[in-house]
């Protein structure tokens, strides 16, 4: 039996991993790693055990065959602790650090010729409204949303560590989930978020599948340029003014709607966990529990 420790087990992507391993494999003992002060998680019945773990996992890592970080906080934490890690055939390398740094990753993507939004680093540099604001370094939670005028800035609860981006006036976000090895994309799945909650920059509630060679090529170019090994979700918005997709960010972690990829492409679970399965593909999904 393979003992697997899933970090941040309350997240949707963690629950999806546990659900599919339980459904299609009997080789895994699945343990959820709770942070101190946490006792109950969504989908807890899918875990064989829930334990409270120390922040430094070095003292318990030898007890598990596999440690799986799922959210931004645990993924970056494991890069810092281990430098790199491997799940199945996929190595997650230290080069993924760049995607947590939103300013630097925008520069690197712009260098590839892929459109990126105009970005300001301070409120004084904004010339046009509305603008979209988010963290300059991914921490897993924090302020993000839309400022319609300068006065809105002073209503943000966390005013530090933000960037301000050109508002792309289109209603949908496109996500390209991927597995990569040394810059080579070895699996990908595209979804379109028809409805997100919260609407600006939230998790997808209503999603549909998409086939788009330009989105695939843009993601492939990013991974190749940065020689990425690992997994993540590249996000884009369609810009009517440019008549092109605009890169928003790469979330170098397992993403909230990972289950939708599992439903449609068994390569993800096969490469990561050595599990093969057949499941009816679904062109759309609704995550009703995300409506709050």
Q: How confident is the model at residue 157 (pLDDT cuts 50, 70, 90)?
A: low
Mean pLDDT across 252-263: 97
- Architecture per CATH, domain 2-93, reads as 3-Layer(aba) Sandwich (3.40)
User: Over 90: is that where the pLDDT of 277 sits?
Assistant: yes
Predicted confidence at residue 44, as pLDDT, reads 84
User: Over 90: is that where the pLDDT of 23 sits?
Assistant: yes
* Range list of H helices, 83-212: 97-100, 102-111
Q: Is the pTM of this model over 0.85?
A: yes
Q: How confident is the model at residue 151 (pLDDT cuts 50, 70, 90)?
A: confident
d(CA 131, CA 122): 12
Predicted confidence at residue 232, as pLDDT, reads 98
Predicted confidence at residue 35, as pLDDT, reads 85
Mean pLDDT across 146-154: 87
Please list the residue range(s) of the chain that carry CATH number 3.40.50.20.
2-93
Angle (nearest 5°) at CA 196 between 127 and 241 = 40
Q: Find the distance separating the first CA and the last CA of the chain, reported in whole Å.
A: 37
Any idea which residue has 């609860």 for tokens? 157
* Topology, domain 98-105+169-291: D-amino Acid Aminotransferase; Chain A, domain 1 (3.30.470)
Predicted confidence at residue 275, as pLDDT, reads 97
DSSP structural state of residue 216: H
DSSP structural state of residue 229: -
Q: Which range is least confidently modeled, 19-23, 110-114, 136-140?
A: 136-140
Query: In angstroms, how far is CA 111 from the centroid of its own chain?
Result: 22
CB atoms within 10 A of CB 119: 18
User: If residue 132 lies in a helix (H) or strand (E), which one and from where to where?
Assistant: strand 131-135
Looking only at Cα atoms, what is the longest distance across the chain?
Answer: 59
10 Cβ neighbours under 8 A, 6+ residues apart: 38, 41, 42, 43
Q: What percent of the chain has pLDDT over 90?
A: 77
Predicted confidence at residue 39, as pLDDT, reads 67
Which phi and psi (to 5°) does residue 115 adopt?
Answer: -60, 135
| Mean pLDDT rounded to a whole number for the chain | 93
Mean pLDDT across 141-157: 81
Mean pLDDT across 155-178: 88
d(CA 116, CA 126): 16
Any idea which residue has 């007890």 for tokens? 63
Q: What pLDDT, in 10s, does the model give residues 171-220?
A: 899 999 999 999 999 999 999 999 887 776 678 889 999 999 999 999 99
Burial category of 31 from C-beta neighbours within 10 Å (exposed 0-12, middle 13-18, buried 19 and up): buried
Mean pLDDT across 12-36: 95
DSSP 3-state of 79: helix
Please list the residue range(s) of the chain that carry CATH number 3.30.470.20.
98-105+169-291
């Amino acid at each position: 039996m393979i003992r697997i420790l899933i970090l941040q087990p309350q997240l949707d992507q963690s629950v999806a991993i546990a659900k599919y391993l339980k459904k299609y494999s009997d080789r895994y003992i699945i343990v959820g790693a709770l942070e101190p002060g946490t006792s109950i998680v969504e989908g807890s019945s899918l875990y064989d055990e829930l334990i409270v773990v120390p922040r430094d996992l070095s003292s318990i890592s030898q007890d598990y065959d596999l440690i799986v970080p799922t959210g931004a906080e645990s993924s970056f934490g494991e890069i810092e602790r281990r430098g790199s890690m491997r799940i199945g055939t996929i190595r997650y390398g230290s080069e993924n650090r760049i995607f947590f740094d939103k300013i630097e990753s925008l520069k690197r993507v712009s260098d590839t010729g892929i459109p990126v939004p105009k970005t300001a680093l301070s409120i004084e540099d904004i010339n046009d409204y509305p603008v979209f604001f988010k963290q300059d370094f991914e921490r897993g939670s924090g302020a993000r949303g839309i400022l319609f005028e300068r006065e809105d800035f002073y209503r943000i609860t966390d005013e530090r560590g933000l960037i301000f981006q050109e508002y792309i006036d289109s209603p949908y976000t496109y996500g390209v989930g991927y597995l990569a090895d040394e810059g080579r994309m070895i699996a990908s799945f595209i979804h379109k978020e028809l409805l997100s909650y919260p609407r600006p920059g939230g998790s997808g509630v209503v999603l549909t599948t998409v086939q788009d060679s330009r989105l695939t090529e843009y993601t492939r170019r990013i991974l190749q340029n940065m020689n990425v090994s690992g997994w993540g979700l590249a996000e884009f918005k369609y810009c009517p003014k440019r008549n092109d997709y605009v890169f928003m960010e790469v979330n170098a972690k397992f993403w909230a709607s990972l289950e939708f990829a599992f439903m449609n492409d068994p390569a993800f679970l096969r490469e990561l966990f050595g599990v093969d399965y057949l499941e009816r593909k679904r062109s759309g999904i609704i995550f009703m529990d995300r409506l709050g």
